[in-house]
Amino acid sequence: MLTWLSREDLVFPPLEKAMREPNGLLAAGGDLSPQRLVAAYRHGCFPWYQEGQPILWWSPDPRTVLYPDALHVSRSLRKTLRKGGFTVTLDQAFTEVIRGCAAPRSYADGTWITTPMQEAYIQLHALGHAHSVEVWQENRLVGGLYGLAMGRLFFGESMFSRTTDASKVGFVTLVERLQGWGFKLIDCQMPTQHLAGFGARPIPRSVFAEALARHLDEPTSAQWGS
């Protein structure tokens, strides 16, 4: 049975109560306050819903993750990186990045990054929880991605690209930075062929929960905003 959240408390049901079909649906309702969003990621779930739906909270099993030291970069992408045609920055244009991620896609109807979702994550960025990666070409924003950092874990949310390989360059740069800062795991949430090409793989939800317990509050040497 689906759990409906109240606005009065931030308690989520145990991850084991998530539905098998649709995979990972854990709860509905509540709000997108910064406090609830932080509590959700710390618990192991995230919001994902379409315009007109209630807020839906998910914790799929298995969970798709990327271990930074398992990053795979294709030969063609390495060539692109060596050419140096892009400039990558962190936390320099969060609002522009999330709006780029929310923009219409040729292969999808609508977006789950609704205006309330954008506003919620912009708040999280102002509080130091959410971060962006910007990819520039000739001073023009051509790609990027955003997510949350907690302890030694990064929770990826979405990426966009306006030119070939832009988001890939941003993602590889981020993973290499995270590895250097001592991050242990990147949450990719759901499987895609795109992420699998970088080395992302599914792990049992129980293993993901163990990683949360172990690494959520560990210190890092992260320096965002560079």
Closest CA to 58 of 112, 135, 122: 112
Q: Is the dihedral of CA 77, 81, 84, 90 positive or negative?
A: positive
> Which pLDDT score, from 0 to 100, does residue 148 have?
98
> Using one digit for the tens of pLDDT, what is the confidence trace for 57-107?
999 999 999 999 999 999 999 999 999 899 999 999 999 999 999 987 654
What is the sign of the dihedral through the CA atoms of 216, 156, 198 and 200?
A: positive
Asked if residue 55 has pLDDT above 60, the reply is: yes
In the three-class reduction of DSSP (H, G, I as helix; E, B as strand; rest coil), residue 185 is classed as strand
CA–CA separation, 145 vs 169, rounded Å? Answer: 10
Task: Look at residue 180 in the predicted model and tell me its pLDDT.
Answer: 97
Decide which of 153 and 226 is more confident.
Answer: 153
Mean pLDDT of 154-178: 97
Q: What percent of the chain has pLDDT over 70?
A: 97
| Whether residue 225 has pLDDT greater than 90 | no
